[in-house]
């Protein structure tokens, strides 16, 4: 049993192949694709920082070195901006690496699945609860972020927590789907979890999204998890095993999720963020209105 009860570490699995975004992702990491002008992975790290997390553990793979560079100091660029007196841009650049935050990079030798990627973090996590953030699910709310909401719940409940949302029943085959017991407002105990069930056999339409808090007991489960859906070692299967020993909660977070792992979700996120962007919003709105007129 873990004696450390605070969530201070987050795992960012970024070693997937990103096949749905080929050819863009042949040599560029999916997690570096920008929503307007900020890469997905930076939104994810900012969400973790807002939740009080100070150790960011990236599980990287082939073609992902630019992610490491993104969170490194860019001396030449900083000097160049300094020389040109571009102070605002310089501050923006420096803010990418928040103060008092450590970055750890672990290589996943082969993309054997999300469960396998999370298992790669074990030597750094040790015997602590930890967060898992999938950067291609961009989640935003009006306050401190989805992970901050989850950490707050963890501090009260001290058990694994999965963020969930209702999806179109026809789409259950794209998600881990849970059946829950009696709800206590925002959260409910998970009774059953299955990976990518077809709609006709899905236990509900409550889908797990890319935010988890897990107890370290998950590592023992992952060690014995066999390849499941898609021939991959699935985190969902290890969580199903964990459920036999420990409570796992489904948490209906406040906020909006953009599925930026899909092209449509990525486009929607860009349009909506373009309409909020302080430099672009007015011109972009005029453009969209004109476009709608032309199309109608």
Binding site for ligand UTP (CB under 6 A): 13-20, 30, 59, 108, 111-114, 116-117, 134, 136, 261
CB of 135 vs ligand UTP, minimal distance in Å: 6
Say if CB 58 and CB 105 are below 8 A apart.
yes
Two tokens at 274?
Answer: 């373009």
Q: How far is the CB of 284 from ligand UTP (least distance, A)?
A: 27
- Sequence-ordered list of residues with C-beta below 8 angstroms from that of 37, at least 6 positions apart, any chain: 277
Least separation in angstroms between CB 230 and ligand UTP = 8
Q: What is the DSSP string of 144-200?
A: S-HHHHHHHHHHHH-SEEEEEEE--GGGGGGSEEEEE-S--SSEEEEEEEEES--GG
Closer to ligand UTP by CB, 12 or 251: give it. Answer: 12
Q: Tokens for 166?
A: 């209702």
Q: What angle do CA 150, 30, 260 make, to 5 degrees?
A: 55
CB atoms within 10 A of CB 290: 10
Q: Do residues 206 and 162 make contact, with C-beta atoms less than 8 angstroms apart?
A: no
- The residue at minimum Cβ distance from ligand UTP is 16
Between 108 and 204, name the residue whose CB sits nearer to ligand UTP. 108
> Of 99 and 231, which has the nearer Cβ to ligand UTP?
231
Closest distance of CB 12 from ligand UTP, Å: 8
Contact 133, 48 (CB under 8 A): yes
Can you read off the two tokens belonging to residue 249? 């909660």
* Nearest to ligand UTP of 16, 145 (CB atom): 16
- Nearer CB in complex with ligand UTP: 175/251: 175
* Comparison of 111 and 216: residue with beta carbon closer to ligand UTP: 111
Cα separation of 87 and 120, whole Å? 39
């Amino acid at each position: 049993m873990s004696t450390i009860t605070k969530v201070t570490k987050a795992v960012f699995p970024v070693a997937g192949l990103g096949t749905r975004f080929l050819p863009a992702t042949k040599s560029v990491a999916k997690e570096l694709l920008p929503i307007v002008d900020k890469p997905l992975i930076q939104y994810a790290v900012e969400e973790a920082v807002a939740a009080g997390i100070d150790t960011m553990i990236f599980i990287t793979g082939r073609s992902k070195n630019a992610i490491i560079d993104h969170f490194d100091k860019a001396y030449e660029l900083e000097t160049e901006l300094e020389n040109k007196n571009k102070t605002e841009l310089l501050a923006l650049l420096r803010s990418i690496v928040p103060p008092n935050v450590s970055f750890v990079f672990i290589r996943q030798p082969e993309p054997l699945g999300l469960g396998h990627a999370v298992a790669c973090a074990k030597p750094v996590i040790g015997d602590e609860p930890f967060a898992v953030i999938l950067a291609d699910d961009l989640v935003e709310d009006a306050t401190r972020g989805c992970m901050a909401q989850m950490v707050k719940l963890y501090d009260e409940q001290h058990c694994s927590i999965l963020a969930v949302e209702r999806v179109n029943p026809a789409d259950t085959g794209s998600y881990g789907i849970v059946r829950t017991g009696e709800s206590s407002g925002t959260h409910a105990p998970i009774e059953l979890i299955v990976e990518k069930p077809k709609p006709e056999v899905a236990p509900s339409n409550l889908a797990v999204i890319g935010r988890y808090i897990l107890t370290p007991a998950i590592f023992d489960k992952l060690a014995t998890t066999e390849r499941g859906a898609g021939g991959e070692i699935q985190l969902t299967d290890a969580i199903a095993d964990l459920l036999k020993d420990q409570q796992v909660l489904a948490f209906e977070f406040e906020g909006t999720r953009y599925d930026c792992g899909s092209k449509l979700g990525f486009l929607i996120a860009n349009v909506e963020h373009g309409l909020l962007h302080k430099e672009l919003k007015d011109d972009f709105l005029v453009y969209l209105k004109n476009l709608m007129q032309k199309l109608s």
